[in-house]
Amino acid sequence: MERQDMKEEHPRDPHVTRRGFMSGAAGLAAASVVAAPAGAQAPAREAPDLAQAVQAGRLPPLAQRLPQNPLVVTPVERVGTYGGTIRRGLRGSADHNGILRMVGNQGLTRWNLEFTDVLPNVAERWEVSQDSSEYTFYLRPGMKWSDGQPFGADDIVFTFEDVLANSEVYRSPPAIFVIAGRLPTVTKVNDSTVRFKFAGPYGMLLQQLATPLGQHPTLFAKHYASRFLTKYNAAGLPELMRAAGVQTVGDLFRAKCGDIEIPARWGNPEKPTLDPWVVADPYVGGATRVTMRRNPYFWQVDTEGKQLPYIDGINFSIAQDVESLMLDVISGRMDIQERHIDTLQNKPTVAQNAQRGNYRLFETVNANSQQVVVYLNQTHKDATMRAIFQNKEFREALSVAINRQEIIEIVYLGQSEPWQIGPRPTHPWYHERLSRQNTEFNPAKANQILDRLGYNRRNAQRIRLRPDGQPLFFAVDVIPTLYPDQVDVLELLKRHWAEVGVDVKVNTIERALFFTRTDSYDHDAMVWPGPGGLEPITAAWDAICYHPQGSRYAIAWALWYATNGREGQEPPESHKRRTRLYDQALATSDVRVQGELMKQAFDLAAESFDVFGICLAPNLFGIASNRLRNVPARMPNAWSWPNPGPSLPQQYFFTS
């Protein structure tokens, strides 16, 4: 998975949001989806190439290709016109998620543009049981795969029973669908209705279905994929495996049907999909480009009944390095690009060449909260260091000794503001104290605190001494190849802390050793970007100690939580209370209750002040050709909101 690697029934509220619950029964009233007008199929129109295919008898009429209730999309600017090919870049031979982010957004649900509401998508509505363990999804009757075959409940039941639960294909089922150790029981109610029954409450299912990893239910067409499974084609599999050059059924299935995050998803033009474009030139070894063409059975229309997508196709050119992508961008050979080029260091060059390249910049809102979080190891194996780091006042002293504004100006080109952790300022769950306390630059206060804590003696180098006479010293681990900006930040922190008598070593190490030291809590301290800016419940491990890899300030406490006390170390009561609140938030499907519970957890986290940061993770950018319209001026930048896909590129269009 890429790094960056909310519901009680309420029939009056139109959509699931972090402020209110979306009942499936009212889902069609969502903000960016309008109900199809009576008789909408009659005036519906299609691209000229498809109209010609219908006239020649190669395609059925549009009314037979669309579902009874197509998803109606309100364009960002205006209704578009048909034609043109989008040019976009990939990097090297393993950039398959660059295709997913542009094309693969066809889950049962989807995110809105603001990354706050879950909207209908493949499912036009749903119902949720009172305990959030049972979900009934109503699909779009008459919907079809890209080869014209019907899509419906049989495909989803097949995916769960014959693919995800199949040990020949998956060693273990995808964790996103596992509750209490089991996949849900998925039952066909009728051709366009399917019911999921989980072993326990799953309050976050609708949100998870809107993410890339939640798209398995709409990924595999039974009529095509079943031929690659023993249950359906035992006699034919040996020959199929020989022809494909693979040794196992699992390898054959993945080669022919793909999976969410592997290149083979885009390597087989024969595989039916629900995407707006289908593969023409596949993503295979040695390819210099991947091309896609319009899906004639795509199931969305605009507000005038015109079938989407407007764009005829996509051409993904494959570059071997970022420099090549940058040259293509500034010379006007890309129509939309943000992936790989969107660093603060590149932004001035991209902006200066906008007129030359005939493009404009759009903003991408960082899903992270914090650019650099400092994690002092509160479960340190050395008792003295553990006591130092567990002292809240010590952490406060280090925080106020940091000149954050200097760091922002020097390292981040002034493109941020002092920040701790917590949801971003624009998020409905923004928490003032969690985000902004102890961000003032106040070395006098830091000195006072450190004196009061007993570190009032210094050696000849003006470094404070611990009560045992040892210098007040620790090392901070960082991965320079992954986050070079963090090395620059630490060099400034080293100077800031030396001025108040604390000595640190900037410990640059390679990635594998970094994680080995962290996972076994052998580190003194380390730095990492802070999550949870736009995903404050699914990525809350800086505030709530539940993630045995993410909660780096107390891995042993997180391990205790994750193993129900069988491993790790028992945490203080504040952490126990936070994880109990977190469990309650995950179990409910009422996002208003979720918000209340997370507010209580954030209050406790703010009081505890376990970690501290430098600055709000800066927003980044992308470019769009001045001819390419309906591209939002602002969109989230996240793996769970795989930009630009949720902005619906199928409604982009070219002007002349």
Residue 195 DSSP SS3: strand
**Residue 247, exposed/middle/buried by CB under 10 A (0-12, 13-18, 19+)?**
exposed
> What pLDDT score does 589 carry?
84
Q: Which residues of 502-540 are buried (b: 16+ CB within 10 A; e: fewer)?
A: bbbebbbbeeeebeebbeebebbbbbbbbbbbbbbbbbb
The C-alpha atoms of residue 398 and residue 453 are separated, in whole angstroms, by: 13
Polymer length in residues for the chain? 656
> What pLDDT score does 549 carry?
83
Written out in words, the top-level CATH class of the domain with range 16-35+44-364+640-654 is alpha beta
Phi, psi of 393 (to 5 degrees): -65, -35
The C-alpha atoms of residue 624 and residue 655 are separated, in whole angstroms, by: 13
Q: What is the dihedral of CA 463, 465, 469, 470, to 10 degrees?
A: -60
* Residues forming CATH 3.40.190.10 domain(s) in the chain: 16-35+44-364+640-654
The C-alpha atoms of residue 567 and residue 556 are separated, in whole angstroms, by: 8
Counting other chains too, the contacts that 234-242 makes at CB distance below 8 Å and 24 or more residues apart are none
Query: Would you list the DSSP string of 604-631?
Result: HHHHH---EESBBPPPEEEEEETTEES-
**Residue 441, exposed/middle/buried by CB under 10 A (0-12, 13-18, 19+)?**
middle
> What pLDDT score does 290 carry?
97
Q: What is the dihedral of CA 64, 70, 73, 74, to 10 degrees?
A: 90
Q: Which residue, among 70, 109, 103, 120, has the nearest Cα to 300 in the 3D structure?
A: 70
Task: Please say whether the structural domain 370-613 has been given the CATH code 3.30.470.20.
Answer: no
Do the bridges between strand 185-190 and strand 193-197 make them parallel or antiparallel, or are there none, so unpaired? antiparallel
* Residues forming CATH 3.10.105.10 domain(s) in the chain: 370-613
> What pLDDT score does 64 carry?
97
Chain Cα centroid distance, residue 9 = 26
Q: Which two tokens stand for residue 321?
A: 């390095």
Q: Which residue, among 145, 142, 137, 126, has the nearest Cα to 41 in the 3D structure?
A: 142
* Cross-strand pairs, 134: 197
Q: Which residue, among 596, 595, 610, has the nearest Cα to 543 in the 3D structure?
A: 610
- 460 Cβ contact partners less than 8 Å away, ≥ 6 residues apart: none
- 304 Cβ contact partners less than 8 Å away, ≥ 6 residues apart: 43, 45, 79
Successive 10-residue mean pLDDT values, the chain, 656 residues? 33 34 34 39 75 96 97 98 97 92 95 93 97 97 98 98 97 92 97 97 95 97 98 98 97 97 96 98 93 98 97 96 96 97 94 98 96 97 97 98 98 96 94 98 98 97 96 97 94 98 97 91 95 92 91 94 92 96 91 94 98 97 98 96 97 96
